[in-house]
């Protein structure tokens, strides 16, 4: 079959010539695969985020300027993510899900241990972060592919929601853990020692969390869970071509990049953004935990709704509108220096912002089907990271020395504008649910031609002993 043709279709035009011949089954082992993925994603995200709240500590301990520290421990993660996305997507597409996750885990482990040598040399901290950033897209670009390969259409949205939460969980946990190991009043060699203890702990725990997925993750079940999983996807080269000419996807890509890029920027500069208003360094870590908890609650609720309703665009529009409104409110509440009031609005911001990421992933796969999920979702996530880099650089420039309240207000205003642009672009995206339409028509055809029952009997007889 040509690479630009979908299994069950006479040509690449959706809805024409559908002749499905398979039936579908899910396996309990999908939960093991999901847990292993989340373990790897959390470990990699903790690696990135645990250094972010420590930027001022690192600046003073090593005698560096804020921009150098931000580049070495935070922006480097986002910068290297971009070129590595193309490599990782090729690996996942050509070599498979297990190969991609295993390579990502190996690079994460190497980076974690290199960081333990950074007490005397800040360069080694940067090198460790760089290795982790090279492994990140191999892991973080796969939630939608894993869900499509292992879950039925009814469970796919919730699966992607839970898998996508792994990265925010890791970010929130990393920001919080750093506050437990590095005291607010730590300085000089004392700060270096406390940071080094944190690096050792993260290396030991991260090795376990990344080692298990390399062994336990399996490529795919013996029987596909849906018509979408059974369909033959475009090749890597053809996927890139199709994405480049899909105007609806390009508009979606721009909106998602501005919106989620703002979130990425906030994660990287949160400490420097709030300390000029009198907040303690540990407060940034606490806010990270608050966003994590409320984000999980919101994501589960929205995951259930989207899984049942398939209302991707409606959900994204509601979430991006409320998120942008809350960020604008924080522009006025944050500078007042009241940690409780600010924390309430940050909690609400997390509740409405975090659920957008899994919906972005699923909506992306819907409007680009039959492009391979890792290619569409990976490119989307890469562009959000690229936008996060640009936003972080400009926000850091606006922050100045990290102690000027006027600079912090300018940076905040810039982020509100960015997120507003993202919301307006997403409003213009057409809800073209290609994958859902394909699967609905495929199910109808299976029932009509009576092939579902006979196909299921044949396939299950060959695969029941798989797990």
Q: What CATH number is given to the structural domain containing 429? A: 1.20.1250.20
**pLDDT given for residue 401 in this prediction:** 65
Cβ 115 vs Cβ 128: under 8 Å? yes
Record the tokens describing residue 29, joined without a space: 């082992």
**pLDDT given for residue 11 in this prediction:** 37
Give the Å distances, CA to CA, from 180 to 64, 163, 225.
24, 26, 43
Residue among 417, 299, 306 nearest 352 (CA): 299
**pLDDT given for residue 461 in this prediction:** 29
Task: Tell me the chain's radius of gyration from C-alpha atoms.
Answer: 22
Q: Which domain holds residue 386?
A: 37-451
**pLDDT given for residue 3 in this prediction:** 38
64 domain-assigned: yes
Residue 304 three-state SS = helix
**pLDDT given for residue 184 in this prediction:** 64
Cβ 104 vs Cβ 88: under 8 Å? yes
**pLDDT given for residue 131 in this prediction:** 93
Tell whether pTM > 0.75.
Answer: no
11 domain-assigned: no
The one-character DSSP state at 221 is -
In this prediction, the residues of the chain whose per-residue pLDDT falls under 50 are 1-21, 444-467
Which stretches within 141-235 are classed as H helix?
143-150, 153-164, 166-181, 188-216, 227-230
Give the Å distances, CA to CA, from 208 to 40, 132, 163, 212, 271.
9, 15, 19, 6, 29
195 domain-assigned: yes
142 domain-assigned: yes
456 domain-assigned: no
247: which residues sit within 8 A by CB, 6+ positions away? none
81 domain-assigned: yes
**pLDDT given for residue 185 in this prediction:** 64
Task: Report how many domains make up the chain.
Answer: 1
148 domain-assigned: yes
Cβ 361 vs Cβ 382: under 8 Å? no
Residue among 314, 132, 101 nearest 213 (CA): 101
Cβ 169 vs Cβ 45: under 8 Å? yes
Residue among 341, 320, 340, 309 nearest 258 (CA): 320
Residue among 8, 1, 4 nearest 444 (CA): 8
Residue 180 three-state SS = helix
């Amino acid at each position: 079959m040509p690479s630009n043709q979908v299994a069950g279709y006479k040509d690449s035009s959706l809805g024409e010539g559908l002749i499905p011949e398979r039936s579908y089954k899910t396996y309990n082992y999908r939960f093991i695969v999901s847990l292993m993925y989340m373990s790897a994603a959390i470990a990699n995200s903790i690696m990135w985020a645990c250094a972010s709240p420590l930027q001022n500590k690192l600046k003073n301990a090593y005698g560096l300027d804020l921009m150098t520290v931000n580049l070495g421990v935070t922006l480097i993660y986002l910068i290297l993510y971009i070129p590595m996305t193309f490599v990782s997507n090729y690996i996942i597409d050509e070599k498979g899900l297990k190969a991609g996750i295993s390579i990502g885990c190996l690079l994460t482990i190497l980076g974690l241990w290199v960081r333990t040598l950074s007490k005397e040399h800040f360069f080694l901290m940067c090198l460790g972060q760089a290795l982790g950033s090279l492994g990140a897209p191999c892991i973080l670009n796969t939630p939608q592919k894993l869900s499509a390969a292992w879950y039925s259409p009814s469970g796919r949205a919730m699966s992607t929601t839970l898998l996508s939460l792994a990265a925010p969980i890791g970010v929130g946990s990393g920001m919080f853990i750093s506050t437990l190991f590095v005291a607010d009043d730590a300085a000089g060699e004392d700060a270096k020692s406390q940071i080094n203890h944190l690096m050792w702990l993260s290396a030991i725990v991260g090795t376990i969390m990344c080692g298990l997925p390399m062994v336990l993750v399996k490529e795919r079940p013996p029987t596909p869970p849906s018509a979408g999983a059974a369909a033959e996807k475009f090749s890597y080269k053809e996927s890139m071509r199709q994405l480049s000419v899909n105007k609806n996807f390009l508009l979606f890509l721009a909106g998602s990049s501005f919106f989620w890029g703002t979130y990425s920027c906030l994660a990287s500069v949160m400490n420097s953004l709030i300390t000029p208003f009198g907040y303690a360094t540990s407060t940034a870590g606490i806010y990270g935990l608050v966003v994590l908890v409320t984000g999980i609650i919101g994501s589960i609720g929205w995951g259930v709704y989207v899984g049942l309703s398939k209302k991707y665009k409606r959900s994204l529009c509601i979430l991006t509108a409320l998120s942008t409104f809350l960020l604008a409110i924080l522009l006025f509440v944050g500078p007042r220096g009241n940690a409780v009031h600010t924390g309430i609005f940050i909690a609400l911001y997390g509740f409405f912002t975090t659920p957008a990421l899994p919906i972005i992933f699923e909506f992306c796969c819907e409007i680009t089907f039959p492009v391979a999920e890792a290619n569409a979702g990976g490119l989307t996530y890469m562009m959000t990271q690229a936008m996060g880099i640009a936003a972080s650089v400009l926000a850091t420039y606006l922050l100045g020395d990290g102690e000027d309240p006027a600079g912090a207000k300018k940076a905040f205003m810039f982020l509100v504008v960015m997120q507003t642009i993202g919301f307006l672009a997403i409003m213009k995206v057409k809800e073209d649910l290609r994958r859902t339409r394909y699967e609905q028509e495929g199910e109808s055809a299976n029932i009509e031609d009576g092939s579902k029952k006979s196909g299921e009997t044949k396939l299950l007889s060959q695969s029941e002993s798989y797990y």
